[in-house]
């Protein structure tokens, strides 16, 4: 099993390994979003499988293998970005729990953990009982600089050394570029590539607009035909792209963030790797994402959102400079620091000074209780299991009886586990605890989720999909804000059945008018109901571009909501399957999730199972006569390119390899 941090990286890895799977005769199974059977299908024969999974899905997969006593089928677990164990997040808890469970149940299974930015390796060495292989070797030299005002300082081993003072033309003559970003870019393009990391999505777009206004017009002639084809493909495959992007691409510049459609990001990445684009302006997520190296990396500010950048994130970003395989003898990075942050980089550098705090394992990490099936059935075994956690390592491998009891009291009082006096006070998961494990729920949220679905069961309206979609819509989405005028317009067009749903869940007409009048509603259901109207429109076969335009959202924001709702819906469905009183959801939710996952014409879902194929490409394939996976699997790259416009040889080979791999899984060539 290969564990990766993001759905997008899982999908990229599935794509990149598909041809290997066909040539070397092994299975690849994707575990991300709603994909992946729990437990995995049992297969006969010598053909092996690689499960490529996000952290959350990997945890669920391990739970299912333990429950079915099949964990011994696992031979090796590879964890990329192992430093995520130090996050104060649910995924860090899930990753630690996964490792602990495997160690407790089958110590013969091997782990390989990888990271370019690990700190406190002595803790990880003890936790994993591991051997450490570490090196600071880089095949391409990286030179790191920090820019404060017009002074460039070399950053090396935590020390700052003045190098030179910039003498560029005044900012007023360059259309308002006080940080000299344009000239820092112009030094290397178009002969070499440049990545610019910005704190927010809006910053990315602003910098793209700045460069498009400031760069010399002769850059328009570089790869002119390739840029023309790229713009045509964006319109054909995505449906639309913003004016800023269209103008920036003419200069070999583009921005890249989660607000873009997945197809849009893929096309921009390909164009960048081919040299058609020489500047990509992106947010921090790209640092841990796809492999897009550069000669020069520029960090627009030492912030991610509103938080000061950590050493780990900084290293991830600047590590993109000067990757092996590029025709560069060096890589360079420039961090732009404003006057108000100057003190943080004087004397003892901020990144170096906070290294132990920012890069290691925080003291309060990994202390959340975590349920599982049949691993620790007595208080003594619970205490023994807790000794395997990083929490215990940080305490010198000492977990007191009081701490063990506190953990058990929490689980008992919240109805996750119970004692059976008839079996020597052994511990068992309650039905609710089993549901939490099956649905891979965060224990801190599980009770609220249960109360919500139980309450809605009494008023469930199945005349329309809207009520079920409301339950699948994420509860804490901060990215999509209510636009009162749009809300009112959407609300008044709802059918009588939809209005009944709105009234039942607390998003009544009165509250909608409160939003319109600028009065903040006390009922959070109003905001969530507004967000639910977006996937509801998609489920009624409206296109993502049209829905995004109607709600004044970026394509990627709509796709992200759809993906999150699908993932959460899959989790909620498994949660409800384990609780008898929620029987009404047990058939309804999987159907709703399936509809949500496709959100396409009824004939397209089989094609959408391919990692490289999105809705627009699926429609192209279907219209070209490729209606099934077998149609694609039996084709050739030359024939596929001839029938499908703007398909490269690499893409055609990739899609065919994925179709062959998927057909083998579905048709069970090895027997199931």
pLDDT digits (tens, 9 = 90+) for 509-567: 777 777 667 666 556 788 889 999 999 998 887 888 888 889 999 888 888 888 888 88
The reported pLDDT for the residue numbered 174 is 47
pLDDT at 388 over 70: yes
pLDDT for 379 beyond 50: yes
Per-residue pLDDT at 353: 42
For position 195, what pLDDT does the model report? 92
What CA–CA distance (Å, rounded) separates 359 from 248?
36
* H helical segments located in 106-242: 121-128, 181-186, 201-214, 224-233
Q: What percent of the chain has pLDDT over 90?
A: 13
The answer to whether the beta carbons of residues 533 and 561 sit under 8 Å apart is no
Question: Is the per-residue pLDDT at 364 higher than 70?
Answer: no
Report pLDDT for 365.
Answer: 39
Q: Which residue has the higher pLDDT, 612 or 223?
A: 223
CB atoms inside a 10 Å sphere around CB 92:
21
- What contacts 24+ positions apart, CB below 8 Å, involve 218-226? 219/189, 219/190, 219/251, 219/252, 220/250, 220/251, 222/190, 222/252, 222/278, 223/190, 223/252, 223/275, 223/276, 226/271, 226/274, 226/276
Q: Which of 185, 171, 256 is nearest to 216 (CA)?
A: 185
Q: pLDDT band at 326, cuts 50/70/90?
A: low
For range 67-79, the mean pLDDT: 90
Question: Is 50 exceeded by the pLDDT of residue 203?
Answer: yes
More confident residue, 605 or 10: 10
Alpha carbons 286 and 29: distance in angstroms, whole number = 24
What pLDDT score was predicted for residue 370?
58
What's the pLDDT score for residue 605?
66
Q: Is 126 a residue whose pLDDT tops 70? A: yes
Judged by DSSP in three states, 546 sits in: helix
Kindly report which listed range (7-21, 169-183, 196-210, 248-262) carries the lowest average pLDDT score: 169-183
With CA atoms as reference, report the closest residue to 212 among 249, 259, 267.
Answer: 249
Q: What is the mean pLDDT of residues 317-343?
A: 76
Which of 393 and 523 is assigned the larger pLDDT? 393
- Tell me if 659 sits within 8 A of 629, measured CB to CB: yes
* Residue 363 banded pLDDT, cuts 50, 70, 90: very low
Which one is predicted more confidently, 606 or 59?
Answer: 59
Return the pLDDT at 622. Answer: 79
Mean pLDDT score, 614-628: 79
Q: Which helix (H) or strand (E) holds 559?
A: helix 555-577
Cα separation of 131 and 327, whole Å? 34
pLDDT, mean over the chain: 81
> Does residue 217 contact residue 236 with C-beta atoms inside 8 Å?
no
Mapping DSSP onto H, E and C, the string for 208-237 reads HHHHHHHCCHHHHHCCHHHHHHHHHHHHHH
User: What integer pLDDT is reported at residue 171 of this predicted model?
Assistant: 45
Q: What percent of the chain has pLDDT over 70?
A: 86
Nearest to 56 by CA among 86, 87, 27, 97: 97
Task: Kindly state the DSSP code that residue 581 receives in the 8-state scheme.
Answer: G
The mean-pLDDT minimum among 70-84, 94-108, 238-252, 364-378 falls in: 364-378
Mean of pLDDT values over 498-502: 91
**Mean pLDDT confidence for 76-93:** 83
Q: Pick from 31, 58, 101: which is nearest to 440 by CA?
A: 58
Q: How confident is the model at residue 3 (pLDDT cuts 50, 70, 90)?
A: very high
On whether the CB atoms of residues 7 and 258 are closer than 8 A, the answer is: no
Pairwise pLDDT comparison (532 vs 474), residue with the higher score:
532
In whole angstroms, give the CA distance from residue 562 to residue 425. Answer: 45
In this prediction, residues 48-69 reach a mean pLDDT of 89
Q: Is the pLDDT of residue 74 over 80?
A: yes
Is residue 87 predicted with pLDDT exceeding 60?
yes
| DSSP code at position 261 | -
> Is the distance from CB of 375 to CB of 400 less than 8 angstroms?
no
Say if residues 588 and 468 touch (Cβ distance below 8 Å). Answer: yes
Name the pLDDT band for 495 (thresholds 50, 70, 90). very high
pLDDT given at position 359: 39
Distances (CA, A) of 155 to 152, 295, 346, 351, 499: 10, 17, 11, 10, 60
At residue 254 the predicted structure's pLDDT band, cuts being 50, 70 and 90, is: very high
Output the pLDDT for position 469.
93
Residue 354 scores a pLDDT above 70 = no
Provide the terminal-to-terminal Cα distance of the chain, rounded to the nearest Å: 20
Please state the rounded mean pLDDT for residues 183-188. Answer: 88
Quick one: 1 exposed, middle or buried, by C-beta within 10 A (0-12, 13-18, 19+)? buried
Is residue 79 over pLDDT 80?
yes
- At residue 90 the predicted structure's pLDDT band, cuts being 50, 70 and 90, is confident
CA 145 to chain CA centroid, nearest Å: 30
Q: What is the mean pLDDT of residues 150-159?
A: 81
Highest mean pLDDT out of 186-190, 318-322, 481-485: 186-190
Confidence band, pLDDT 50/70/90 cuts, at residue 360 = very low
Taking residue 278's Cβ as centre, other Cβ atoms within 10 Å add up to 24
């Amino acid at each position: 099993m290969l564990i990766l941090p993001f759905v997008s990286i899982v999908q990229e890895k599935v794509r990149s390994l598909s041809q290997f799977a066909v040539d070397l005769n092994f299975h690849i199974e994707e575990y991300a979003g709603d994909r992946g059977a729990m437990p995995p299908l049992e297969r006969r024969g010598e053909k092996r499988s690689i499960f490529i999974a996000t952290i959350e899905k990997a945890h669920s997969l391990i739970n299912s293998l333990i429950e079915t006593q099949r964990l011994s089928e696992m031979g090796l677990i590879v964890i990329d970005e192992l430093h995520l164990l130090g996050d104060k997040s649910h995924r860090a808890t899930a990753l630690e729990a996964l490792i602990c469970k495997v160690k407790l149940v089958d110590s013969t299974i091997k782990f390989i953990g990888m990271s370019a930015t690990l700190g406190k390796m002595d803790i990880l060495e003890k936790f994993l009982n591991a051997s450490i292989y570490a090196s600071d070797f880089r095949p391409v030299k990286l030179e790191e600089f920090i820019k404060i005002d017009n002074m460039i300082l070399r950053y090396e081993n935590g020390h700052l050394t003045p190098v030179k003072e910039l003498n560029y033309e005044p900012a007023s003559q360059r259309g308002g570029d006080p940080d000299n970003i344009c000239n820092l870019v112009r030094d290397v393009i178009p002969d070499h590539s440049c990545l610019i990391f910005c704190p927010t999505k809006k910053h990315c777009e602003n910098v793209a607009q700045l460069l498009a206004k400031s760069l010399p017009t002769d850059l328009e002639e570089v790869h002119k035909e390739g840029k023309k084809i790229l713009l045509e493909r964006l319109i054909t495959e995505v449906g639309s792209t913003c004016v800023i992007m269209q103008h920036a691409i003419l200069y070999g510049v583009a921005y890249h963030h989660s607000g873009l459609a997945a197809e849009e990001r893929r096309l921009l990445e390909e164009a960048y790797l081919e040299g058609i684009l020489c500047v990509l302006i992106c947010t921090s997520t790209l640092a841990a994402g796809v492999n897009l190296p550069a000669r020069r990396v520029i960090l627009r500010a030492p912030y991610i959102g509103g938080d000061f950048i950590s050493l780990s994130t900084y290293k991830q970003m600047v590590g993109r400079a000067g990757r092996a395989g590029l025709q560069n003898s060096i890589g360079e990075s420039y961090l732009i620091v404003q006057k108000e942050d100057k003190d943080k980089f004087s004397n003892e550098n901020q990144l170096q000074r906070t290294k132990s705090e920012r890069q290691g394992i925080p003291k309060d990490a990994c202390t959340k209780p975590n349920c599982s099936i049949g691993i620790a059935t007595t208080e003594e075994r619970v205490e023994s299991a807790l000794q395997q956690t990083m929490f215990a390592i940080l305490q010198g491998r000492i977990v007191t009886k009081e701490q063990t009891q506190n953990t058990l009291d929490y689980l008992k009082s919240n109805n996750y586990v119970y004692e059976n006096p008839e079996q020597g006070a052994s511990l068992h998961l309650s039905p609710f605890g089993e549901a939490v494990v099956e649905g891979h729920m965060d224990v801190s949220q599980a009770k609220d989720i249960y109360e919500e679905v139980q309450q809605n069961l009494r008023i469930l309206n199945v005349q329309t999909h809207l009520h079920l979609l409301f339950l699948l819509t994420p509860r804490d989405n901060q990215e999509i804000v209510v636009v009162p005028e749009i809300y009112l317009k959407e609300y008044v067009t709802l059918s009588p059945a939809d209005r009944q749903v709105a009234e039942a869940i607390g998003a009544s007409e009165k509250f909608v008018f409160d939003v319109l009048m600028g009065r903040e509603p006390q009922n959070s259901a109003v905001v969530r109901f507004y967000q639910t109207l977006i996937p509801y429109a998609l489920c009624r076969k409206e296109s993502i571009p049209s829905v995004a335009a109607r709600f004044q959202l970026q394509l990627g924001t709509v796709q992200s909501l759809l993906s999150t709702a699908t993932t959460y819906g899959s989790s909620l469905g498994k949660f409800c399957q384990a609780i008898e009183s929620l029987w009404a959801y047990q058939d309804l939710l999987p159907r709703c999730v399936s509809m949500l996952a496709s959100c396409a014409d009824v004939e397209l879902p089989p094609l959408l199972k391919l990692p490289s194929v999105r809705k627009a490409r699926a429609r192209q394939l279907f219209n070209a006569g490729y209606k099934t996976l077998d149609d694609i699997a039996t084709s050739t790259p030359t024939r596929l390119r001839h029938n499908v416009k703007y398909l490269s040889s690499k893409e055609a080979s990739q899609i065919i390899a994925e179709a062959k791999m998927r057909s083998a899984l579905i048709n069970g060539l090895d027997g199931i």
